[in-house]
Structure 1
Amino acid sequence: MAQHNCTTKHRSFKHLNAYERGQIAALRKEGKSMRYIAKQLGQAPSTISREIKRGTVTQLKSDLSTYEAYFPEAGQAVYEKRRKNCGAKLKLPHVKDFIRFAEKKMLEKKKWSSDSIVGYCKRDPNWKDKPMVCTKTLYNYIDRGLLKVRNIDLLLKPRLKPRDKTKKREPKRLMGKSIDLRPKEVETREEFGHWEIDTVVGKRFNDAVLLTLTERKTRYELIFLLDSKDSESVKRVFMELKERYGELFVDVFRSITADNGSEFSELSSILESYRSEAYFAHPYSSWERASNERQNGIIRRFIPKVKVIKDVPLSEVKEIERWMNQYPRKVLNYSTAEECFYRELLKICEGKGKVLEEQYVQAG
């Protein structure tokens, strides 16, 4: 179909290619002027003049006299050599301190991503006047093998599988209010105090499990080690949280969104007694609790599926929790979840005329 209103402009100052250099050589042999050649190739006369100077070499005749002539191969060789020297120069020699810091963070047991390292340094006053590189450049250095870090050492990138909408599954009974009834401010993460909950299971059927709670706005994480995956164990966790937060519980835990696992069968009644709300995602719809699922994926870096959770000491579980809450995140403008959670708690306490007690913020 013809385009009558095309707004694309002719690109000027484009580079000559090998074919055009051959045309220049042929037209020069015919004795054509530079302006004539420039018009034929759609280039500026100055472009043709510079190209002829680049490709002109001195030749020796049989009688040992010399002459100068333009050769397209010579022009192309000079062009390619100069192109290799184009572009920004490596900043690596000037950012040695930053590179050493980045390598340490990416190679230690509890790794940071390249983006988190760059974001953290931008916020840290100690790095304010020190030379750094951006996230993309840091990844480029790794790809080119300029750092001790290799791609295999990096944290795994998220791999999203497309959902098969044609696959039919057996309907599953909802155990309480549907997620469709959840207020809009929960979905937009505007309001603090809305959590997602799930369990992380181990290798064996009768293994211990981890109960994970993720606050949607601040991404603050709570991890509990349970002896078994049942509703009674979940109930004990909320009794512990109620004891920790006291009258602040209803403000800190306004709502909790769960899946339809049997361990959450009494969640609605438990939260109702504490004046909080429970919502349940649709069956087989883990993406409706995306924050919690993402956090569980991070936990799996430390406790893989092949590991028996019973063998993991509580101190290690709390250390994982502490690391997750003190990890700078791009989604939080490179603040940590702990910092954001603390600020929200401070607002609640100030609104109630209370002092923020140390027991409210426990990261490990």
Structure 2
Amino acid sequence: MNTITISHKSKHKHLNFQHYEFIINSLIKFNALHSDSNRNIGKTQFIKDIASTVGTSVSNVYSIIKDATITVRDYNLNEHTELSALAAFNKRSKNHKIPNNSKLFKAHDFITLVEDEMKSNRLSSVDETIHHLILHEKDKTSNIETVSTKTFYNYIHQGCIDIRPIDLPRMLRRKQKKNDKTFIPKRQKGTPITERPDSIETREEFGHWEADLVVGPRNGRNGAYLTLIERKTRFYYMIPITSQSSKKVYMQINRLHKFYGDSFNQIFKSITFDNGSEFSRWKDMEKKPGTKEKRTTIYFGRPYHSCDRCQYWKSIIDKCYSTGKPVIT
């Protein structure tokens, strides 16, 4: 049996003339090979195979064969029956109305325009061609129905237009993104934020800071910034560091300690970090360099719960919703 490539999306849909021709030609070859008295042996299975290959039902194949059976006369005016794919297609096409909402037929002029443009310039992709026509050649596309890039690609895959995937090298090389990102649970570092005193949450006492590390678009390769914000006064530090490492963060805390001296433990009573690896030397940050004396308290938010460090703002937002008035802090 001949082979034909049929998209699974075309199953039980309206067949084109190529499908009719394939069905009738296959049947003619089958009849020629089984012209004896046992010609019907295996014909049922043969019809099922054709239906499966084309992507339609068995009853539809039988109906096509019935409509393809015509009566003709030879030179001696003797009547005999023949199979004609064209006769079946013409007869059945009259009974199949083209849906009014079919973009393939409504946008036929635009699709033809895109095909011609792409054939004349093989370097252009579907995206480039469609956007160029819509944005820069409005005189050609203003009065006709258009289709999106996604719809045009669907027509290419379904074989509805003259352009094939092999004609678009970039389309064959395109890889779909895989949503296989996995999240590895992080272990809690140090004192959890749930053990932080309520007095810190109210922002009534000075000396409680929240810290983070800000990196640029190259993921810290060109340096980063250590940010420190005081919860009560909103005083803000933004300290440049040369690399995204725990050692550099620890060195900056030591420089702040050297700058403030003995007042450090009164100014930096507590610091709240996230669970980034740059804060892994938190035990050293809590103690004075070279001693076991404690200089500050380090708290850590829960892994993947950045909102833990924003409870104050959450309370402000809840108050705004409840009163319907803005709250000035």
Output the TM-score relative to the length of structure 1. 0.33
Higher relative contact order (CA 8 A, sep 6+): 1
- TM-score w.r.t. the length of structure 2 is 0.37
